[in-house]
Amino acid sequence: MPAIDATDISKRYGTVTALDRVDLTVEAGEAFGFLGPNGAGKSTFINILLDFVTPSAGSVSIFGHDCQNDGVAARDRIGVLPEGYAPYERLTGRQHVEHAIRAKDADADPIAVLDRVGIRDAADRTASDYSTGMTQRLVLAMALVGQPDLLILDEPTAGLDPNGAARMREILQTELDRGATVFFSSHILEQVEAVCDRVGILQNGELVAVDTIDGFRDTLGGGTKLRITPETLHEDTVATVRRVAGVETAVATSEDRLEVTCTNDAKMDVLVALQDAGVDVVDFRTEESSLEDMFVEYTSGGHA
């Protein structure tokens, strides 16, 4: 049974379409990254999952429970780090976790949970005095209570320092190893790339692509980028490279630097073509396309 199964989900606010016929299945046990620029509809989708918002059309279920008609059962085995939340004003960190334990009818040690997210020392401080990063950790702690089968995290690294973000990744990996499903929405691509197996890209309310990160690389021309420093960079050098089969783009980024994106097996052909054209290569580096490159490729309209 899929962890999340959305069919034709749309949400309209007056004339504005926040989500447009989104179909998405997230299998149990996978780490799914939900990417999109601000305002793409990521939070609207999560709000529908949590029944904060009713869809204008379509339906979505969590482990077979309809999120709108059977919302409590749908949220019964999940941990959530929602967007736009605030801690309870007068409760300490420990009391927040205790509240989550009671609500989930779970058996957990609040201090151990707070220790896991790194805020054990602040357990008895009022949560409204916490920094943004500490509050994120606290709500992650609440989400982890009861060993949920699905973690829904909306921009979870917002406000976290690098150490906090690294700890969150470790925790998510542990949860994945335990067999939990992670649904991770973010616009910070490196976080998604570090955690997720599969990624969905949302733009203007439409799910424009869903694939594994390797799948995206294959789709987008093998995802190899060459940074070449020729001894001299003539005008026709760029044209020479562009003529090589498998080359997608070739741009002179400075007086002596050429950047080329191409399929993986065209790398050597580029260098050979330069050699044949009498251009000496002083230096060259290759790098795989980052998720950011792929994201830009999709959201800039090339593949949308």
Partner 1 sequence: MNWRPVARHEAGVLRSTRSFRYLLGALVATVLLSAYVYPVIGTPPYSTARFTGFLAGSLTGLLAFVGVLVGYGAVAGDRESGALRLSLSLPRSRLDVAVGTFLGRAGVLAGVLVAAMAGAGVLVVYPYGQLVVGPFLAFVGVAILYGSLWTGIGLAVSMAVATKRRALIVAFGLVLLLAVAWEPAVGLLEYGLTRAGLSTDGLPRTLKMLIGLVPGAAFERVVTSLLDPGAPPSGPSALGGVTSLGVLALWTIGPLGAGYWRFARSDLA
Cβ closer to partner 1: 54 or 232?
Answer: 54
Q: Which residue has the tokens 């916490």?
A: 130
Cβ closer to partner 1: 31 or 80?
Answer: 80
- 8 Å CB contact between 113 and 69: no
16 near partner 1, rule: CB under 8 A: no
Cβ closer to partner 1: 139 or 209?
Answer: 139
- 8 Å CB contact between 19 and 53: no
Encoded one letter per residue, x for contact with partner 1 by CB under 8 A and - for no contact, window 70-109 reads: -xxx-xx---x-xxxxxxxxxx-------xx-xxxx----
Cβ closer to partner 1: 81 or 258?
Answer: 81
Which of 98, 92, 89, 77 shows the shortest CA–CA distance to 142?
98
CA distances from 192 to 161, 197, 205 (A): 16, 9, 19
- From the list 10, 19, 32, 47, which residue makes contact with partner 1 (rule: CB under 8 A)? 47
- 8 Å CB contact between 73 and 65: yes
Q: Which stretch binds partner 1 (CB under 8 A): 68-76, 203-211, 215-223, 252-260?
A: 68-76
H helix runs in 24-161, sequence order: 42-49, 71-74, 93-104, 110-117, 132-144
Least distance from C-beta 235 to partner 1, angstroms?
Answer: 54
Encoded one letter per residue, x for contact with partner 1 by CB under 8 A and - for no contact, window 131-170 reads: --------x--x----------------------------
Least distance from C-beta 135 to partner 1, angstroms?
Answer: 10
By CB under 8 A, the count of residues binding partner 1 is 31
Question: Which residues, 6+ apart, have CB-to-CB distance to 210 below 8 Å?
Answer: 24, 198, 199, 200, 201
The contact set with partner 1 (CB under 8 A) reads: 44, 47, 50-54, 71-73, 75-76, 80, 82-91, 99-100, 102-105, 139, 142
